[in-house]
Chains A and B, each alone.
Chain A
Amino acid sequence: MAWITKNSATMQIDRRDEPYLTAEIKADFEQRMFPRYPTKQACTIPLLHAIQDLHNWLPYQAIEEAAEFLELPASTVLDTATFYEEFFLEPRGRYTIWVCQSVSCEIMGHNKLVEKLSEKLGIGPHETTDDGRFTLMNVECIGACGGAPCALVNHKLHENLTADNVEQILDGLE
């Protein structure tokens, strides 16, 4: 993901008054996380996770707040955030479906899953449905190859998927 280019410095950042980095997260990091590492920068990834777990994505304002809290330039935190596939710098669906496309899953028929999901949701990989419910991601091995083909729906792993049972899983979500 290293060569994703960013908007130039003239870009407008949407801002709101209420901070994304809440007082609770700050307190937790000050008490529990900072003592774990010799540097504050080492808290970058844990902090980005904490913010994203709360808001489901990382707005630029949140990156700036994280940077200020960690006493780093915003560009340094942005550099880290853009490198990792799990961090979303744009809003995403309430449910993110991560379908594994690596070898074991391809051998066991991941194609049928992606076809079914795309057809049912009306989106392709790396897109979000208009109602903001689903984001579909094609990803590499998620470490559950014995249950190929498999997918994560948010934090929950589903194994031995077929076009049928994947439909049931979708229907079971609000």
Chain B
Amino acid sequence: MPLEQPILLTNIPTPPWGDFADRKTLSYADYTKAGGYAALEQAVGMAPKDILEVVKAAELRGRGGAGFPAGMKWSFLPPQDGGQRFLAINCDESEPATFKDQVLTEFDPHIVIEGIAICMIACQLDTAYYYIRGEYHHHREIFENAIREAYDNGVFGEGSRIGKVNDRWPNLYLQRGAGAYICGEETALLESLEGKRGWPRIKPPFPAVAGAFGRPTIINNVETLATVPPVLTHGADWFKSFGKGRPEGAPPNVPASFGTKLFGVSGPVKRPGVYEEHLGVTLKTLVEDYGQGMLPGKNYKAAFHGGISMGILDTDEYEAEMDFDIGKKYNNLGLGTACPTIIPHDVSMVAMARNCARFYSHESCGQCTPCREGGNWLYKILTRIEQGDGTMKDLDMLLEIASSMGSMPGTTICGLADGANWAVRTIVNKFWSEFEDAVSKERFVSISAVG
């Protein structure tokens, strides 16, 4: 059943409820008039652990890519010791084809700020940094202004309605990135925040224990935090009435797909954009109903369904449900950012694989050999194949290099290499015949050599 009312995009005109053209930034006054900051009032009157319980009971999973349960992450924090504790909000949004957090940042910054404030109460964090990617210039100005409004209205700073946390008045600061995909990885983000190059840290220690400046730190995605105010207002059961729910027959400890999700649809569709739907909506619905179908003369061939790092959906996986179990069901890494890019029939999958490999070879931070060298080799081999100089052996080598890369095979520090692995491997496997055709020249060569 299609979503009747949006939750996150209540104030952001979005089809079918509204028109993209009517989107404008909500000020503090607009947001409060629409009922905003009531959840914060409620949170101020609650014991922090009760807020945490609501988020846990709602089974809210992270919207930044990995789908880690937010309530569980928050409960990893050690007991307070009087020192500073931090929140880092991840608005690095650099995964190719992903453009959902910017919509919240640009048009409804206060729903995000309210979520931040509630998280700071629930987790007893006194200082928050909004890490926004360097290229979001316009968004940065808007968010900076929204932060100022929040200070002027007593959300943060001296005399904040939150009260003192760890004996300090709570603060929210904006931090501008400087053009590095890897800084979206949570520990690289912390290094960058500390003024260093964005080199992911070896875990443990986990950030909840020793994060920014060696202190307990929570890192959450923008969309995750923006979901917190409606969850608190309406309760866990209400939130769990949305979405796909738990896989059939699974016991209650299996992580589930509750709630709605932002889906950023791009590629050759008639109406690309960021939409909201139940978790579990099919890719086909996103393309045909929300995106209004493919552009004339274009047919669906495949999709990067959640940013390129999750791999690819095949031509016959057009009706895949976009929920947290998509990885298991359709042989990819997972839901990722849930921003599908549609690949039409006339775009070469070799070109797409080459594009991904170039991305990873360029964005690798260089710490781990399999990632730094493997990414470069994938790019070189795919370029060679695309130019018609590849051989059958290259295809085997591609798969071998790709599958050896990543924190899942146990060879690298962070998940960037897993992205390279899954992107390249699923494209080659699912579109093997295209790759075979691209290297088929070799067959003629060998036949003539035999002759």
Which A residues are closer than 8 A to B by beta carbons? 1-3, 36-39, 41-46, 48-49, 70, 79-80, 82-87, 98, 101-104, 106-108, 139-148, 152, 155-157
Contact = CB atoms under 8 A, between A and B. Distances in A.
Interface stretch (B2-10, B97-105, B240-248): B97-105
B178 A155 contact: no
Given A48-B178, A86-B179, A39 B133 contact: no
Contact of B355 (A41, A84, A102): A102
Given A2-B365, A106-B355, A107-B343, A86 B268 contact: no
Contact of B356 (A3, A80, A103, A147): A103
A108 B266 CA distance: 9
Q: Name the prevailing secondary structure of the A interface residues.
A: mixed
User: By CB atoms of chain A within 10 A, which of B102, B193, B355, B365 has the most?
Assistant: B355
B124 interface: no
B352 interface: yes
Nearest to B20: A146
B196 interface: yes
A173 B98 CA distance: 29
For B178, B308, B342, B344, which residue has the most chain A Cβ atoms within 10 angstroms? B178
A141 B179 CA distance: 10
A89 B365 CA distance: 19
B396 interface: no
B264 A84 contact: no
A145 B347 CA distance: 17
Interface in B326-345: 339, 341-344
Contacts of B133: 143
Given A103-B304, A103-B308, A107-B343, A143 B99 contact: yes
Contacts of B193: 42
Contacts of B97: 102-104, 141, 145
Per CB-CB distance, the 9 closest pairs between chain A and chain B, nearest first, are A44-B195, A2-B366, A84-B178, A85-B179, A83-B197, A86-B179, A155-B137, A102-B96, A145-B266
Interface centre among B134, B176, B341 (most CB of A within 10 A): B341
Given A45-B175, A147-B272, 8 more contacts: A79-B196, A84-B177, A87-B179, A102-B97, A103-B352, A106-B351, A140-B363, A148-B266
Contact of A102 (B178, B195, B274, B359): B359
A70 B137 CA distance: 25
Nearest to B141: A155
A61 to B, nearest CB: 20
Contacts of A106: 347, 351-352, 355
Contact of B195 (A43, A108, A146): A43
A86 B213 contact: no
B94 A86 contact: no
B17 interface: no
12 contacts: A36-B127, A36-B173, A39-B194, A80-B195, A101-B355, A141-B96, A144-B99, A145-B272, A145-B341, A146-B265, A148-B272, A152-B135
A86 B134 contact: yes
A101 B351 CA distance: 12
Nearest to B273: A146
Interface string B271-308: 01110000000000000000000000000000010001
A140 B358 CA distance: 9
Interface residues of B, number: 63
A45 B176 contact: yes
Contacts of A139: 135, 179
B366 A3 contact: yes
A82 B266 CA distance: 32
Interface in B129-159: 133-138
Nearest to A154: B137
A30 to B, nearest CB: 16
A73 B351 CA distance: 44
Nearest to B271: A146
Contacts of B363: 140
Nearest to A70: B195
B424 to A, nearest CB: 13
Contacts of B197: 2, 79-80, 82-84
Interface in B169-207: 171, 173, 175-181, 192-199
Which of B195, B196, B351 gathers most chain A CB within 10 Å? B195
A39 B195 contact: yes
A137 to B, nearest CB: 10
A146 B272 contact: yes
Contacts of A157: 137-138
A93 to B, nearest CB: 17
Contact of A140 (B93, B177, B181): B181
A147 B273 CA distance: 8
A25 B247 CA distance: 56
A23 to B, nearest CB: 22
Contacts of B339: 145
B321 interface: no
Contact of B274 (A2, A146, A155): A146
A42 B96 contact: no
